[in-house]
Amino acid sequence: MKNISFPVLLFILLIMSVKANAQFAYFLPNPANVEDSLTLYVDLSQDPTCTKLVNNQEQLYIWTWVPNDPLIGLGTWGSSNEELKMKNEGNNIWSFKMVPTTFYGVAPKVLYEKGIKFLAKRKNGGQGGDCSETGEEYKTSDISLNIPAPAGVVRKVLSYPDVVGKDTLLSRSDDVFTIIYNNFAEEKLTMQNIGNMAVYIRVLGTDGKQYIPIPLGQLINNPSIKMVNKGAGVWHFSMIPDIFLKSYLPAGVKAKRLRLQLVTLPLCGGDCSVDGEFNFNFKCDN
């Protein structure tokens, strides 16, 4: 074997290291808030199986299936949805910008648990085989990106089904709705060691008017709106809005938005309530 000088060997190792560490796909910002803008990037030159798309100049589209199909629809394999066009950043790098919770219609925890799986393809992805020079497909390898939850993000109030965006439920007012309060995440000293909790409910009806089923001063006399202590600092309240609110709303009127506050009983003002109010809009038609 011909001897290789140390400088040449060092150069070869450096090139190998750069190639080994080059990223085929990534996202920014990282760490990401999946309820805000996130951009996916694909470097076609680093695809381990597809050489046909390197230096591609035709329009590419994102094709994604985890954590969910996009709410706007994928189109078909032979004709991608035009709203899923990717941006050519140059140098074989293509990108796609989205707000993940809105784009997929899932809660943040689903994205943090499942990540994002996708590929980049031409409008017509091809007829099978592979994406080598002799293959008949025009798509990258499947890509799987983990989305780590940002450090320190602890939600003390959440719902099931959970919201998308800031306050939208992908459910109807005839579905079960649950609000959950994690008292262990509560920093307010006056809300420690609580004994009884209730939900103060205000409703925006489908007629555009606001209704208060049970006035604040009457909460203590109504067990139907008391939260249940599930242990380990977790409290919850469940209802089917159409059934629960039926006697409080005019005939034909349903809940369009719930406006909730969580309070301790007996009432003692702002010191005995969870800070803020929590709004839940029903996205689906009633």
Percentage of the chain exceeding pLDDT 90 = 59
Which among 106-110, 149-153, 219-223, 231-235 has the top mean pLDDT? 219-223
The answer to the question of residue 13 being in a domain is no
| 88 lies in some domain | yes
Indicate the pLDDT class of residue 136, thresholds 50, 70 and 90: confident
pLDDT of residue 11: 40
CB-based contact 260:235 (threshold 8 Å)? no
CA 130 – CA 119 distance, rounded (Å) = 13
Q: Is the pLDDT of residue 276 over 90?
A: no
Residue 57 and residue 30 share a domain: yes
Per residue in 109-123, pLDDT (tens digit) is: 889 889 999 999 999
Same domain, 101 and 180: no
The per-residue pLDDT for 241 is: 96
Q: How far apart are CA 62 and CA 81, in angstroms?
A: 9
Is residue 2 one of the residues assigned to a domain?
Answer: no
Query: Do 231 and 121 reside in the same domain of the chain?
Result: no
Q: What percent of the chain has pLDDT over 70?
A: 90
Query: Which pLDDT does position 133 carry in this prediction?
Result: 78
- Tokens standing for 236? 């919850």
Give the pLDDT of residue 22: 46
Is residue 133 located within the same domain as residue 162? no
Quote the pLDDT of residue 20: 33
Q: What's the confidence (pLDDT) of residue 167? A: 83
Among 30-39, 71-80, 216-225, 255-264, the least confident range: 30-39
pLDDT in the model for residue 6: 45
The reply to whether 14 falls in a domain is no
The pair of structure tokens assigned to 235 is: 């409290």
| pLDDT tens profile 205-214 | 999 999 999 9
Residue 162 shares a structural domain with residue 273: yes
**Is residue 207 situated within a structural domain?**
yes
pLDDT of residue 163: 84
Placement of tokens 């230096």 in the chain: 55
Q: Do 233 and 162 share a structural domain?
A: yes
Please check whether residues 168 and 70 belong to one and the same domain.
Answer: no
pLDDT band at 225 (very low <50, low <70, confident <90, very high): very high
What is the rounded CA–CA span in Å between residue 139 and residue 50?
7
For residues 277 and 187, state if they share a domain.
Answer: yes
Q: What is the CATH number of the domain that holds 124?
A: 2.60.40
124 and 34 in one domain? Answer: yes
The predicted-structure confidence for 148-175, as pLDDT tens digits, reads as follows 877 655 678 989 888 877 788 888 899 9
Q: So what's the pLDDT on residue 31? A: 82
In a domain, 7, yes or no: no
Which residue, of 86, 119, 145, is where some domain finishes?
145
Higher pLDDT, 248 or 268: 248
> Considering 108, 123, 145, which residue would you say is the last residue of a domain?
145
Range of 85's domain?
Answer: 21-145
pLDDT, tens digit (0-9, with 9 covering 90-100), for 9-62: 444 433 333 333 347 899 998 888 898 899 999 999 999 888 889 999 899 999
Q: Is residue 93 part of a domain?
A: yes
Q: Verify that 171 and 112 share a domain, yes or no.
A: no
Residue 152 has a pLDDT of 57
162 in a domain, yes or no?
Answer: yes
Domain count, the chain: 2
Q: Name the nearest CA neighbour of 272 among 234, 212, 216, 201.
A: 216
- The whole-number pLDDT of residue 91 equals 92
Q: Which of 145, 176, 206 is the last residue of a domain?
A: 145
